[in-house]
Amino acid sequence: MNFPVLYLRKGAERRLRAGHLWVYSNEVDTRRSPLTEFEAGVQAELRASNDKPLGTVFVNPHALICGRLISRDPGHGMTPQRLTQRMEAALALRERLFDKPFYRWVFGDSDGLSGLVIDRFGSTVVVQISTAGMELMKEAVVRAVQRLVHPEAIILKNDGKMRKVEGLETYVEQAHGPEVSLLQVEENGVRFEVPLEGGQKTGWFYDHRMNRQRLQAYAPGKRVLDVFSYVGGWGLQAACAGATQVTCVDSSAGAIDSVHHNARLNGLDNVETIEGDAFEALKALADEKEKYDIVVLDPPALIPRRRDQKAGEEAYARLNQLGLRLLERDGVLVSASCSMHLSQEKLVDIIRGSGRKIDRFVQLLEQGHQAPDHPVIPGIPETDYIKSCFVRSLTGFF
């Protein structure tokens, strides 16, 4: 195939050779290959400053990440056949790991499909496209989904924030099958129904699956507080594992309604909810002298951008201090983060500092990671974003 050529500045290929797959606009030699000459989503051959071929990329001249590596072979672009092959390889891994079709089938760059996320919810498949290059392959994606898993319904939930960065319109479209309003989810033996409209991302976060499973070992006979609960992923799994009482906190009235619906779905009558801002709710509970055996903190990304680092770390510190204050003497704090810019080491340090600030002796019991249907590419730190700490808190111990 004949592709236009995108040239890099001298030395800009080092990160790519080390395993990364992204090209930033300030790394392009715009004298030799003006970005304005490329249409959004076009495929191009990538070359180093010395003319050595580096592979093939999707190009978007309007985005900071203006190139996304498709192949390290400069003669191979992303064809419908190659797209299907990579989706099939991704599917083989998930089918080996999980005995039921509830998982993240495609995780973007980690599966060689930059800009594409696919989640399976039983007989329904939800597709989310976030880049111009993958948008041009939308029909090929839908055909591949139909061919590989024969779902009853395929939904294109293309309303993520990244689309604006890529200059793409947002929309939600029923690409195949009858209209779906509720997504069916089964995780760690617990059932959920999640509203598609207004739901977060594709509707569910499979990334904390293994960490929620670990919570079940701590839950029997315990009183649990699930903060930023969304539709009850952590709290209801704790309740099903034998927690005596669970309280879910979320600012969304819709999410709170879903918690009650999902509690009924699993035959639970020991689940309470608090609708409101998490920080304010935690302070109010502390003022009321409430205590819990387990407190789960799983906030949205409090450090969405690198420039938010300082304010975000301070927010995590406040949150963890509040959570520790609400624990019984031998309680367990589950502190989770989905902020790509917060390292596991920094989260541990924040918990350490939070414990010292309020005079708690803390023991780090376990550290969790994202589930294997969200594989990490070692050369792409951005694919490694989920972390969790299971911490035991003791008062008056030292």
Which residues on neighbouring strands pair with residue 69, listed in sequence order? 57
Instruction: Write the DSSP string, 354-367.
Output: HHHHTT-EEEEEEE
Burial letters 325-349, b for 16+ CB under 10 A, else e: bbbeeebbbbbbbbbbbbebebbbe
Which residues lie below 8 Å from residue 339, measured CB to CB, with a gap of 6+? Answer: 301, 302, 303, 304, 312, 385
Handedness of CA 133, 105, 128, 337 (dihedral sign): negative
**Which residue has tokens 């030699």?**
29
Amino acid 179 reads E
240 has catalytic annotation: no
Whether the CB-CB separation of 93 and 40 falls below 8 Å is answered with no
Element (H, E) at 43: strand 43-47
The residue annotated as part of the active site, out of 66, 240, 248, 338, is 338
Query: H-type helices in the chain, by residue range?
Result: 14-17, 80-97, 132-135, 138-149, 162-165, 209-218, 233-240, 253-265, 278-287, 309-325, 344-357
Taking the C-alpha atoms of residue 207 and residue 199, their distance in angstroms, rounded to an integer, is 16
For the chain, helix, strand, coil in percent to 5 are 35, 30, 35
| Total residues found in the chain within this entry | 398
Taking the C-alpha atoms of residue 204 and residue 9, their distance in angstroms, rounded to an integer, is 41
Taking the C-alpha atoms of residue 132 and residue 97, their distance in angstroms, rounded to an integer, is 31
Which active-site residues does the annotation give? Answer: 338
